Amino acid sequence: MSKERARLRAAREAEQARQRAARERRVARRDRQRALLRRLTPRWRRRRTGRLLRHSRRERLAIVALTGVAVVGIWVLVDSLALRLALIALLLLVLPAIVVIALDRRT
């Protein structure tokens, strides 16, 4: 009787060892595939550095659009070419201060 139980236990343990080995091979294969996929997939760098990247896409679009409207307004309303260029240069020089005053979130 004990020899029969020992034989059944040995068969059961051998089957469990085969199943464990198969599961370990599946897990190792899946891990290798995931590692390969991670290496091949391009990563999006989301580092937000720089002055313009502090603002959302909508805010940056608003900054560009309003600056364009101001430049067109200067070009249409001012007759002198030298004054037009001077005002546009002044606008571009003062633009960062206007953006900080209008859109700064530190308050």
Q: What is the pLDDT along the chain (107 residues), one digit of tens a residue?
A: 788 999 999 999 999 999 999 999 999 999 999 998 888 888 776 665 565 566 678 888 988 999 999 999 999 999 999 999 999 999 999 998 888 888 776 55
Q: Which domain holds residue 95?
A: 52-103
- Does 64 share its domain with 32? no
Whether residue 73 sits in one domain with residue 38:
no
Q: What is the pLDDT, as a whole number, of residue 43?
A: 76
**Number of domains forming the structure of the chain:** 2
97 and 64 inside one domain = yes
The reported pLDDT for the residue numbered 45 is: 66
DSSP string across 17-79: HHHHHHHHHHHHHHHHHHHHHHHHSPPPP----SSGGGS-HHHHHHHHHHHHHHHHHHHHH--
CA 99 to chain centre: 24
Predicted pLDDT at 50: 60
Short-list 53, 82, 88, CA closest to 67: 88
Same-domain check for residues 61 and 95: yes
User: Scanning the structure block, which residue is given the tokens 């900080």?
Assistant: 100
